[in-house]
Amino acid sequence: MQKKTKIITTVTVALAVLTLGSGTVLQMHAANDVSTVSQTVAPRSVKADSTQLTADQTSGTKQNYTVKYTDKETGDQSATLQKKTYGSSNRAEDQVDYVGRNTQGTTVKLNKSTTAVVQGVMGHTYVHWNQGDWSVTAVASNANVTGTPTQFAKQVNQQVSATSLPKDADTGAITVYSDAQTGEANSVTWQNGKQLYTVSGQTADGTVKLAQEAK
């Protein structure tokens, strides 16, 4: 009888450990979920010259999450900040559409220290330059009569230079358009180790500002 009692006690302890183990996994999974913007690198709101964005939806996990923003004036979704974690830093880096300094084309001065390359492709003019570990491409429609592609590129360069982009970025790329986009075509993407962060938005200044305000 004593031996039988010992076996039953052992089984009971084992089941208790198993139950505790399962509960611990569930708690860890719940703790890994992201439901508020304060759990992410994203700011609660940003204000650029033409746009005020407010975070209104957050979902995912600490490794992979999405924060969506609405435009205060229209009430429509107009920007998104997304984090993805890859298996290696090389895979994360491959997702960044970085344009190097060997781009061919006509050169233009954006300021005393920044020279850009200008290229024309299918009704659009692309002005590209590099700033530290970042590449920047400003795209202007040739049908836009409100200013020249170089003027738009100078505005972008001034905004990028005025406030720091994410300092922990290993490499990053910015592509913005002079006209407001119906979709979130403007983008700022940067890689930090295995993590990839992407901000997309309808306006150039709002998209860049959102990335600059990321923690």
pLDDT digits (tens, 9 = 90+) for 71-97: 998 899 999 999 999 999 999 999 999
Query: pLDDT band at 29, cuts 50/70/90?
Result: low
33-46 b/e (C-beta count within 10 Å ≥ 16 → b): ebeebeebbbbebb
Domain shared by 23 and 71, yes or no: no
For 36-40, what is the mean pLDDT?
A: 96
Q: Does one domain contain both 26 and 57?
A: no
- The predicted pLDDT at position 146 comes to 64
Is 131 in the same domain as 196? yes
As for how many domains the chain has, the answer is 2
| pLDDT tens-digit map of 143-197 | 765 678 999 999 999 999 999 999 899 999 999 999 877 899 999 999 999 999 9
- Could you tell me whether strands 45-47 and 195-201 are parallel, antiparallel, or unpaired per DSSP bridges? unpaired
Q: Domain check: are 56 and 17 in the same one?
A: no
Using 50, 70 and 90 to split pLDDT, how confident is the model at 110? very high
21, 117: one domain: no
150 and 204 share a domain?
Answer: yes
Domain that holds residue 13: 1-32
Query: Are 132 and 181 members of one domain?
Result: yes
Same domain, 101 and 70: yes
What band does 20 get if pLDDT is binned at 50, 70 and 90? Answer: very low
pTM, to two decimals: 0.83
Tally of CB atoms within 10 A around 153:
27
The residues, any chain, with a CB within 8 Å of residue 77's CB and separated by 6 or more, are 68, 69, 70, 71
Tell me, yes or no, whether 48 and 10 share the same domain. Answer: no
Q: What is the mean pLDDT of residues 84-112?
A: 94
Specify whether 7 is located in the same domain as 59.
no
Indicate whether 153 and 203 sit together in one domain. Answer: yes
| 27 and 72 together in one domain | no
| Contact present, 129 and 116 (Cβ < 8 Å) | yes
Q: The tokens of 211 are what?
A: 């990335």
Res. 5: pLDDT tops 60: no
